[in-house]
Structure 1
Amino acid sequence: MKSEQETAGSEVDRAEEKSEPAAASRSEWAALWGLLLGAFMGFIDIFIVNVASPSIQDEMNASFADIQLVPAGYTLAYGAGLVTGGRLGDRFGRRRVFAVGTLAFGLTSAACAAAQSPGVLVGARVLQGLAAAVMLPQILALVQVVFRRPGERARAIGIYGAVIGSGVVAGQILGGLLIRWDVAGLGWRAVFLVNLPLCGVVLAGTGAVVREPGKRTPTRLDLGGVLLLAPGLFGLLRPVVVGGDRGWTAPLAVELSAAVLLLILFIVWELRVTRSGGVPLLPPRLFRQRGFSLGPPTALFFYGVNGAFVFLLAFYLQRAAGLSPLAASLEFVPMAVLTSIASMLCGRLEARFGRQVVPMGGILMAAGLLAVWAVLETVADPGGQALPLVPGLLVYGFGGGIVATSLIGRALAGVAPEDAGAASGGILTAVQASEALGVAGIGALFGALTETGGYVHGLRVCVIVLTGLSLATSGLLHFPVPRPSTGR
């Protein structure tokens, strides 16, 4: 028989198991902002180079093909490495891997700023993208394991979603400002050097206060999965990016077909690793969870729409409306402000009005796009459209803030702590691929339409297409998802 002490101890253990997880401490909430600064850096660097590209081309006497690879090199390496980066955190510890990724991001940013030729710059951008792929998945994974109360976790992930949702716009605004200010005569190099002090702040802040609760069980990295998934994703994204810019060719079609084959083999391999009792790179069990399985298609519509709309409107404002790069980027400021406000209000709105608030965000996006279409339809002079476009951008930004705040949290709902890194890398890969597909696909449609009907006609038609995709986003957001796992 058990002693009274043993019995009492067992009852305490059971009571602790049933009790609510501990609330996050002040230091952990403070650490969140350091982590979010790291996320902000990684996402704005996708777009901050867009405004600087003409200056880079002029100084380096680079061809247009060379200059296209400056943003594309980062995008491709980043998208291809995210799942592997997430699993590295599961294997070696998320805080440690996050610190290594942040340090590497700072060093490769300095290498980009020091580049003296297009080839060196593109190579440094590829390495910078790989560093971001190591750094960024750890943020969501740490949020999953540190914030164990569902309400706190939802709030933290919501803030994260707002950060990446506004990163598309913020990157272009910051790039325009840095080029305009020409800090210390650095010109375009400032868009890379700005990362150095930010990396220092991130490393100092998170190193001091971020903790990783629970015991980590070391496992072997699924190298077979890495060797299939990384080139598969690279081969999938590269034709989309390059084909959208330069036109589709037979070699690109072959590369895309080979990538699809590699991804099919990756699925077969992961199922085999799971059956043998190993730890797969991307566990198939994740796709049996409704939240995660709905994440990629929802991200495809939402981030595809957002990436394409921002890209096309920025291009239109400069080419058709005659705005400078800085003026065009400042057109997005009101939209970015409303996105941030919506992200902060989303939780309160859901608490008061229920789950329909999130699908309503997609409907607001569609309404904002229709308002933009009405301006394009009624204001004949593109040069006079900048101010009338603002109301539609405000509505679009508010709806987009609600969706961005909720989408990632919904995708990660129910994910176990041991799969946090893999799941985070998986959903971020979907985000990155969706933006690339949106820009390439809708961008190709825009290019074809402008050749026959001009810029105004091209943007009108594309905005209608984006409106339909926003409504599709709203439809997917109607599906209920499980409550977040507490890790118990």
Structure 2
Amino acid sequence: MNRLQLKWLSLLIVSTSVFLAVIDIFIVNVALPSIRQGVQGSESDMQLIIALYLLGYAAFLITGGRLGDHYGRKRVFIVSMLVFTFSSLLCGMAQTAWQLNAARFIQGTSAAFMIPQGISYIHILFPEHKERIKALGIYGSIAGAASVIGQFLGGLLPDVHWMVEGWRLLFLINLPLGLAAAALAGRYLQDTTQHREGRFDVSGVALLTVALFALVYPLIRGRELGWPLWSILSLAGAVAVLLLFGYDQQRKLAAQQNPLINIRLFSYKDFNIGLCAVLFYFMVQDSYFLINAIFMQTGLGYSSSETGILFVFQGVGYVVASLLSIPLVKRYGKRVLQGGVLIMIVSLLMHLVFFRTASMPKAVLLATLFFYGTGCGSVLPSLLTMALKSIPVHFAGAASGTFSTFQQTAVALGIGVTGGIFFSLLGDAPSPAVYMNAYQVATAVNIGFLVLVSIFLYILPEGQQAITEMAIH
């Protein structure tokens, strides 16, 4: 194998990390009713299946990048890929909701360690700018394809019963790809120089992890238990720990101790406005799939396979719009994102009108979902560049890691807030009318979040050209 072939093979190997990480976000969304039945879980257990994966990812993403610098990216990539594969096996073998959620947290944590290695390898393998842009495009296309494939398989596999319950295949299909990726990485990936200067901010990681759990877990579990005292204390404690985390990071920065997050980033007004837009956008991102997947299957009576096929059209709309939006953003700036948010708002209003009965013509549902996907695809690929456009180049890596941590945390918050509203309105024995009311209220909440996104995008200055080449979800 010549050097050129080896380079592109290495790109495909490291791209398995984003493929597996993204597919395991989307594959569970459609299948939640089947998973709940399989492990005899509660409503909050289903929210945690998504949220714990994202919290593990958010808490350790920045650390994952630094670990690759410290021990070598090849070693960290292989180990984290094997851990991700093993945790997928644990998910597929889980007998209780507790076991499944514990394994999902390990999955998310291992994803946080393998994703940064893949992105770093692209910069190493493709030092020339034009080749790097092409490589990043392939990497991003694989991530986009994973979201569509995940939604399709999430609907299809629960209806397949081959040796094990269908929902278990959602996680077991990771095994052959994960093992193959680790084996190929061991043979073909070049190792990278290790940089062992500086210490890991272990206390910073611990504080951030505790704060995220103390914030999200009671939002999800507290509602189901009637908001006991511990849940209120946990939320108050989360605020206290976040303040302590901020002080800890500031102190370490002043002492030049390499903190987890460089808080100087928050002195840039545009960055703070961009993060506010990110917060409310991503609170809608996965809560949309949560409430629609459950409403379609349990409320309207669609099968898992039918729901998966419907969501594929949303994914296709996303992929098409994302490819078209990137060059448009270069020409028209944030107006493309504002238009995308408007499309999402109009589409959600269409959801409220059309998603009322299973007898609604499929063509109308497919068009509505495709329309919503085009709105997402117009916003998501360039949201990172809008948030970071005023950040100096030497802060680019720290800002990108902070953005990704904030993004995944926001998704988990959306699952807790919008999902919590939806489930609290359902009650114990929901009728079709109750399902409809809960769906409409939760969707209205998401519309409100998108209105806030549009406001923050409006007040965000156009500024200079973004420093980042591409964002990967």
Shorter-normalised TM range: 0.7 to 0.9
- Structure 2 equivalent of residue 445 of structure 1: 421
Structure 1: distance between partners of 2:291 and 2:229: 27
- Structure 2 equivalent of residue 284 of structure 1: 263
User: SS of the counterpart of 1:356?
Assistant: helix
Does structure 1 conserve the Cα–Cα contact (< 8 Å) formed by 2:271 and 2:387? Answer: yes
Residues 66-85 of structure 1: CA distance to partner in whole angstroms, max 9, x if unpaired?
Answer: 66655554344333333333
Residues 231-284 of structure 1: CA distance to partner in whole angstroms, max 9, x if unpaired?
Answer: 122222222332355553321111121122112111111111111122111122
Does structure 1 conserve the Cα–Cα contact (< 8 Å) formed by 2:38 and 2:167? Answer: no
1:334, distance to aligned residue in structure 2 (A): 1.0
1:476 paired with 2:459, answer: no
Comparing 328-337 with 179-188, greater Cα deviation is found at 179-188
Identical positions, percent: 35
Does structure 1 conserve the Cα–Cα contact (< 8 Å) formed by 2:30 and 2:293? Answer: no
1:462 paired with 2:438, answer: no
Q: Counterpart of 2:171 in structure 1: which amino acid? A: F
Equivalent residue in structure 2 for 1:194, among 173, 178, 202: 173
1:27, distance to aligned residue in structure 2 (A): 5.7
- Correspondences of 1:199-210 after superposition (within 5 Å): 199-203=178-182
1:216, distance to aligned residue in structure 2 (A): 3.8
Structure 2: distance between partners of 1:33 and 1:473: 35
- Structure 1 equivalent of residue 82 of structure 2: 103
Q: Counterpart of 2:70 in structure 1: which amino acid? A: R
1:221, distance to aligned residue in structure 2 (A): 0.8
Equivalent residue in structure 1 for 2:153, among 162, 166, 174: 174
Structure 2: distance between partners of 1:369 and 1:352: 28
Structure 2: distance between partners of 1:374 and 1:172: 23
Comparing 348-357 with 127-136, greater Cα deviation is found at 348-357
Equivalent residue in structure 1 for 2:214, among 235, 243, 247: 235
1:301, distance to aligned residue in structure 2 (A): 1.8
| Counterparts in 2 of 1:381 and 1:278: CA distance versus 1, 3 Å | closer
- Structure 2 equivalent of residue 403 of structure 1: 379
Equivalent residue in structure 1 for 2:245, among 257, 266, 269: 266
User: SS of the counterpart of 1:384?
Assistant: coil
Equivalent residue in structure 2 for 1:305, among 279, 284, 290: 284
Structure 1: distance between partners of 2:27 and 2:10: 25
Equivalent residue in structure 2 for 1:372, among 351, 359, 365: 351
Does structure 2 conserve the Cα–Cα contact (< 8 Å) formed by 1:146 and 1:213? Answer: no
1:222 paired with 2:205, answer: no
| Counterparts in 2 of 1:375 and 1:124: CA distance versus 1, 3 Å | closer
User: SS of the counterpart of 1:248?
Assistant: coil
- Correspondences of 1:15-54 after superposition (within 5 Å): 31-50=10-29, 52=31
1:95, distance to aligned residue in structure 2 (A): 4.1
1:450, distance to aligned residue in structure 2 (A): 5.1
User: SS of the counterpart of 1:220?
Assistant: coil
Equivalent residue in structure 1 for 2:403, among 427, 434, 447: 427
1:461, distance to aligned residue in structure 2 (A): 3.7
Comparing 193-202 with 468-477, greater Cα deviation is found at 468-477
- Structure 2 equivalent of residue 6 of structure 1: none
Across the two proteins, how many residue pairs are aligned to each other? 459
Does structure 2 conserve the Cα–Cα contact (< 8 Å) formed by 1:102 and 1:199? Answer: yes
User: SS of the counterpart of 1:133?
Assistant: helix
- Structure 2 equivalent of residue 4 of structure 1: none
Q: Counterpart of 2:466 in structure 1: which amino acid? A: R
1:158, distance to aligned residue in structure 2 (A): 6.7
User: SS of the counterpart of 1:331?
Assistant: helix
Does structure 1 conserve the Cα–Cα contact (< 8 Å) formed by 2:320 and 2:377? Answer: yes
How high is the TM-score relative to the length of structure 2? 0.82
Residues 448-477 of structure 1: CA distance to partner in whole angstroms, max 9, x if unpaired?
Answer: 555696333333343343234324334434
Greater Rg, structure 1 or structure 2? 1
Equivalent residue in structure 1 for 2:234, among 222, 232, 255: 255
Q: Counterpart of 2:277 in structure 1: which amino acid? A: T
- Structure 2 equivalent of residue 358 of structure 1: 337
1:338, distance to aligned residue in structure 2 (A): 1.3
User: SS of the counterpart of 2:155?
Assistant: helix
1:404, distance to aligned residue in structure 2 (A): 1.6
1:82 paired with 2:61, answer: yes
1:397, distance to aligned residue in structure 2 (A): 0.5
How high is the TM-score relative to the length of structure 1? 0.80
Structure 2: distance between partners of 1:100 and 1:419: 27
Does structure 2 conserve the Cα–Cα contact (< 8 Å) formed by 1:321 and 1:383? Answer: no
